[in-house]
């Protein structure tokens, strides 16, 4: 580990050494005269203070002609009386500094923070490889532990994902002439491809012990599974509206981009490009009505002012609403997502900042259910006997995967 706290304590001890404080106080008095010492001069001054037991010492400081000139002195002889006055009153300055130490310590910290951060950064950089190697070893050990507990279920889930990839690829290769211009088929295939990809992300998170992260990604998988079902049920017009709605989203995103691009250091979208985006946006609103501008406006011809929950309910997938709500807490910054963690048992008051062997069943089973559902939707659209048989086999397999997750969870409780 980096040991930030230990390094700060060590740096604080270094700052509070008498010769460091003497140097900072003396330099501040010189700055009052208009003279700022360079680092070499400060180091030399610090060494002199370190060599003496008393504050009243005879100091040797070599000032450059430029320093003297900038401060309004013609020579060191002209500076000497002011310098001697500082040395004479220096014990008083130190006593005053000590009397107001709480206030002065903050000034002292601010003055040396650049130096401290540079030294800490250099040390961290030199130790980075060792730290990464240690973390890789720890992660490898934890992956073995998770595999020992959950490996059989996770391997079965991986098998389902492989099946999903093969099914999607084979479905995409269909050469039926009557279906090649089918807009529903044109969109449900890429949706399924994204569902497959998210399933792989979830599997990776589960294999590494990140149940909460897996549940958050499942939320997206669930949304896509609901949407693909809704499109398949409602046909070509909804599919077209869904595809064209990208222009609505693009225009909204472009406006937000231009609002913040200067703060982000990005290039502004040009007026001609914004004009074209707005024109396409406005044409679609004119064609489909004002409700089309909302996030789920592409479903407005079937549902009145639709929300995602409305779409979910219309395809009878709202049974998973409690899990969806829980998954949402792992995306948004509300208190529930911070205080309630899948990776911790309810009675455990520990803070979870990494992997855990607990809680993998919920996102695992949910992924199985909705990955399977989306495949059923795909295979039942423009279906044939082969597709129906494959769909039935996938359902049978998925039940085995679900039961394995549940079986392991019950053993771990």
Q: Are residues 154 and 59 in the same domain?
A: no
Whether the per-residue pLDDT at 180 is higher than 70: the answer is: yes
Residue 139 located in a structural domain: no
Percent of the chain with pLDDT over 70: 86
Q: Find the farthest-apart pair of alpha carbons in the chain and give their distance in angstroms, rounded.
A: 105
Residues 91 and 206 in one domain: no
Does some domain include residue 112? no
Residue-wise pLDDT tens digits, 338-361 = 667 776 676 666 777 678 888 899
Contacts of 282 (CB under 8 A, 6+ apart): none
pLDDT, average across residues 241-266: 96
**Residue 122 belongs to a domain:** no
Same domain, 47 and 190: no
**Token pair for 135:** 């973390």
Candidate ranges 75-79, 88-92, 99-103, 396-400; pick with highest mean pLDDT: 396-400
> Is pLDDT above 60 for 99?
yes
- Exposed (0-12), middle (13-18) or buried (19+): which is 178, by Cβ within 10 Å? exposed
Average pLDDT over residues 4-17: 66
Query: Mean pLDDT throughout 56-60?
Result: 69
Closest by Cα among 232, 199, 230 to 371: 199
**Which residue, 99, 119, 136, sits at the end of a domain?**
99
Burial (CB < 10 A; 0-12, 13-18, 19+), residue 188, is: buried
Domain around 43:
4-99
Cα distance between residue 219 and residue 198, in whole Å: 10
Span of 65-69, 106-110, 187-191, 383-387 with lowest mean pLDDT: 106-110
**CA nearest neighbour of 400 among 390, 388, 408:** 408
pLDDT > 90: what percent of the chain? 57
CA distances from 330 to 88, 217, 219, 265 (A): 64, 9, 9, 30
Is residue 362 a part of any domain in this protein?
yes
Average pLDDT, the chain: 87
Both 375 and 266 in one domain: the answer is: yes
Boundary of a domain, candidates 69, 99, 129: 99
* Domain co-membership, 227 together with 352: yes
| DSSP strands (E only) in 63-156 | none
pLDDT digits (tens, 9 = 90+) for 197-206: 999 999 999 9
Q: Is residue 248 one of the residues assigned to a domain?
A: yes
Torsion sign over Cα 102, 107, 113, 115: negative
Report yes or no on 154 lying in a domain.
yes
**How many independent structural domains does the chain possess?**
2
Same domain (yes/no): 232, 333: yes
Residues, the chain, total?
413
Q: Are 65 and 175 contained in the same domain? A: no
Residues 80 and 193 in one domain: no
Q: How far apart are CA 327 and CA 337, in angstroms?
A: 9
Query: Given the structure tokens 């963690």, which residue do they identify?
Result: 341
DSSP secondary structure of 310-373: HHHHHTT-GGGHHHHHHHHHTTS--HHHHH--TTS-TT------S--SS--HHHHHHHHHHHHH
Which of 71, 99, 127 is the last residue in one of the domains?
Answer: 99
Residue 234 inside a domain? The answer is yes
277 shares a domain with 336:
yes
Q: Residue 60: helix, strand or coil by DSSP?
A: coil
| Angle, vertex CA 95, rays to CA 93 and CA 100, nearest 5 | 95
Q: What is the pLDDT of residues 219-249, one digit of tens each?
A: 999 999 999 999 999 999 999 999 999 999 9
Q: Is residue 247 part of a domain?
A: yes
pLDDT band at 327 (very low <50, low <70, confident <90, very high): confident
405 Cα distance to chain centroid: 28
Residues 85 and 172 in one domain: no
Return the pLDDT at 351. Answer: 72
Q: How many CB atoms lie within 10 A of CB 8?
A: 12
- Choice between 278 and 172, residue whose per-residue pLDDT is larger: 278
**Residues 160, 41: one domain?**
no
Query: What is the SS3 assignment for 251?
Result: helix
pLDDT band at 270 (very low <50, low <70, confident <90, very high): very high
For the full predicted model, state whether its pTM sits above 0.85.
no
Angle 183-207/101-172 helices, nearest 10 degrees? 130
Q: Are residues 95 and 159 in the same domain?
A: no
Q: Which of 119, 93, 106, 72 is nearest to 27 (CA)?
A: 93
In the prediction, which pLDDT does 315 show?
97
- Give the integer Cα–Cα distance in Å for 341 and 216: 12
Between 170-179, 292-301, 311-320, the lowest mean confidence (pLDDT) is in 170-179
């Amino acid at each position: 580990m980096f040991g930030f706290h230990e390094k700060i304590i060590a740096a604080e001890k270094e700052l509070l050494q008498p010769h460091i404080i003497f140097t900072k106080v003396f330099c501040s008095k010189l700055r009052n005269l208009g003279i700022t010492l360079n680092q070499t001069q400060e180091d030399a001054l610090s060494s002199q203070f370190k060599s003496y037991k008393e504050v009243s010492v005879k100091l040797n400081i070599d000032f450059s002609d430029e320093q003297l000139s900038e401060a309004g002195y013609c020579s060191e002889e002209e500076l000497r009386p002011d310098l001697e006055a500082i040395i004479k009153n220096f014990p008083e300055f130190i006593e005053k500094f000590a009397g107001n130490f709480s206030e002065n310590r903050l000034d002292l910290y601010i003055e040396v923070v650049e130096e401290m951060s540079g030294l800490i950064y250099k040390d961290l950089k030199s130790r980075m490889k060792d730290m990464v190697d240690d973390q890789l070893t720890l992660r490898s050990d934890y992956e073995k532990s998770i595999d020992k507990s959950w490996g059989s279920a996770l391997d079965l889930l991986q098998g389902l994902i492989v099946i999903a990839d093969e099914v999607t690829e084979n479905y995409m290769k269909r050469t039926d002439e009557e279906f090649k211009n089918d807009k529903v088929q044109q969109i449900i295939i890429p949706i399924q491809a994204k569902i497959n990809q998210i399933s792989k992300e979830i599997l990776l998170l589960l294999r590494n012990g990140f149940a909460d992260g897996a549940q958050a990604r499942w939320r997206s998988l669930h949304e896509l599974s609901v949407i693909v079902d809704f499109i398949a049920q409602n046909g070509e017009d909804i599919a077209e509206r869904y595809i064209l709605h990208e222009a609505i989203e693009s225009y909204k995103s472009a406006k937000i981009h231009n609002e913040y691009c200067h703060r982000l250091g990005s290039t502004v979208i040009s007026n001609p490009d914004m004009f074209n985006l707005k024109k396409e946006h406005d044409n679609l609103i004119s064609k489909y009505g004002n409700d089309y501008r909302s996030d789920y406006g592409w479903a407005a011809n079937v549902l009145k002012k639709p929300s995602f929950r409305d779409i979910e309910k219309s395809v009878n997938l709202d049974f998973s609403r409690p899990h969806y709500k829980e998954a949402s807490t792992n995306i948004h910054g509300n208190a529930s997502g911070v205080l309630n963690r899948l990776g911790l048992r309810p009675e455990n008051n520990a803070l979870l900042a990494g992997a855990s062997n607990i809680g993998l069943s919920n996102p695992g089973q949910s992924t199985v259910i909705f990955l399977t559902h989306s495949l059923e939707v795909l295979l039942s659209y423009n279906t044939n006997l082969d597709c129906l048989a494959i769909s039935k086999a996938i359902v049978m397999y998925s039940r085995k995967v679900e039961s394995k997750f549940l079986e392991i969870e019950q053993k771990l409780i």
